[in-house]
Structure 1
Amino acid sequence: GPHPVGALDLLTGPASDNGGGVLARLFYPALAAPGAGHPYTEPEYVRGLLAFSNWGSWLSAFLCWGFGRLRLNCAWQAEPLRPAQPLPVIIFSHGLGAQRHIYSSLCLELASRGFLVAAVEHRDGSASMSFDVVDGQRRWLPMEAGQLNDFPRRHAQARWRAGECLQLTEAVLALGRGQPPVANRLPEELGGCPDSRLASFRGLIDPNRVHLMGHSFGAATALTTLATTPEAVYKTCSLLDIWMHPVDPEHYNNVKIPVLFLSNEIFHWEANAQRVQAVLDAIESEEMKANLSIRGANHAAQTDAGLYLSAWLSRRIGLADSLHPRDAVLLTARICLAFIARHEGRVDLTEEDRVLLRGEHPDCFPGVKFKPNGGRIGARE
């Protein structure tokens, strides 16, 4: 996009045994160029991903070294750009076993197009690793073990995660108002920013242009959030390759804002697709919904996973399919931005935007492809 991107980490609210408050990374248009960038992740997060992926511990040292060389293409804690109009906001929820930085490429692209993107790191036990700060020190919160298809547990997590999305929304809007003051509980020596940087967002955030977005379990979280939150809070919701199992069926009829279902060609199974269709059927207005898929993309397409290695090697080990990982991320951003623009009504859509939203782009198609259930009890991540 046209803007350099800044980023910072924010930890709000009181400490508790399971991570009180909310932890997030904010991506935003910035005044400064990226420079040398910022470290992509830390060894504890790499170990969490390895444990979630069931990859051998022998890889730990190599991957910690490799990930340690990755840099985010952002200006860390840079001063935000002061545009002519306040910034729209996207609240982003990650999938099962992910972390706040696993979707950095997508978040950076959206922020470079003029959005403040707040990527929450959920601390309900569904992230492969997270942390809280107690007495000025990090207390690491590894992923909690559990059965994938345990509906009561996953539904409870979806509700917890929805609460974190709402907390983050309130914190971001408070940054824009400048009151009540938002304190960053993450110390500067642990990567937190000074209060003066948070204060620089005052007057920069548009409270009437807040959007939800999530991937997989994060999409289920976004759907749960919009179904359990007053209608006026969010403008649209973009659901990326949603995992429907954690969503309470009672919420299927509670969708009151425009919703985009954007799926990947290689993920869905019959039960999941049927649940998606049930939500779509409950939305009477055709203008309020869109249902599209990305051709040649697998479930990891919206994450950074396919970009860690060459496209050829990513395909060989299942981190990508036939569509180039970079193209999948950029196409996801373009479709979501076109959907948001259509419903904000602030700019006229281009013909290219309309082609995307009709599913007529060569790398898209309308609807969802799915395979037989294959014995699955409604879900796999």
Structure 2
Amino acid sequence: MLVAQKNERPTANLNGMTQFADLTMVQRPAATTERAPGRAVPAKGGGAHGFFEVTEDVSELTKADFLQPGRRTPVYARFSSVAGALGSADTVRDPRGFAVRFGTRQGNYDLAGNSTPVFFIRDPRKVLDFIRSRNRQGDTSGNDMRWDFWTSTPESAHQVTILMTDRGIPWAWANMNGYAGRTYLWENPSGVKFWVKYHWKTEQGVVTFTDAEARAMVAEDPDFHLRGLRASIARGEDPVWRLETQVMPFEAAADYRVNPFDLTKVWPHADFPPVTVGRMVLNRNPENRVAPATLEPASTAPAIGPGWQVGEIVRAAHAKHRADDPFAQPGALYRDVLTEPDRVHLVTNIANHLRDGVQPDVLTRALAFWSDVDAQLGARVAKAMTDSGRRRPLSLRTTLR
């Protein structure tokens, strides 16, 4: 039963008890215990309208209508912080949400992702613990709870390593890549199935803040990313991303060396080279500046899906494959991908992050955590912490004391 006026109550008789058939009455008190919208992830964000155009022929891989050669589809892209509340600064160290809504002829296809190719967890049962570890606490704004969770969750090592590089703070939303992260299922016109991963590659080039630059920008303009996207489009400098996919034959998933459905792992490009599909151009700012779009990851397009179970292959991210090791890929990233200047920045960024409120017992675990990623990296982080005497980096909080 719905009641037209919120102050009216259906009762059993003139002065009787309120009936629980009044849905308005039942639901309104629940609002006092729900999560504050400003703290829900990812609360702070913005976006723009544009189009996606298929530039290559991938019709042998998928029969999805909007991915056929030459097709142009309207899109809305939303970028956001992950941990930050609605009033947080844009240039803090954090993954960025990267979500795209395709307005296909068959309905909306919402593709949610992040600015990093992996995530902190692969087990959905840990989501609530992860979110709580990133919320600000009443007695501190430091990083103790984050490091407590990360060091208790080895699978987070890959994401934390990427986050602590300079890519953890992009210069602008237009200067970062996007990754759907999850593994999706494509089907071609002949009924042949493939596993795919989506990558949005910025054509503006990847540009990042240093840790010091980002801290300064927090004070100068906390809405730097939000303002920058809108201003760029208003000037006619429309940002562009190239959509690439990695394609795995359906049968290869069962015995591939790492679990292809594990959100904390990447597929090496040597095994599955990127295949270009098309490009996304954002060229129109939203007229409504108040409420950003809400996307639904369960909204998919025909011939594309998560494919939770297809025949004997089950999308089980927790199942171990022969080369699954939570520290193997982050270790390879440190040794084989990062340049020496990148490694120096990584060590500095880790040390600065650890100085911000991390307690001694958690710090001990953090040093062991980085040694597990790479012995040299662990030693360099320990030396950086010793050399600094665990002084907090200069900030507004310390100067006002």
TM-score, scaled relative to structure 1: 0.26
Q: Which has the larger radius of gyration?
A: 2
TM-score, scaled relative to structure 2: 0.25
Higher relative contact order (CA 8 A, sep 6+): 2
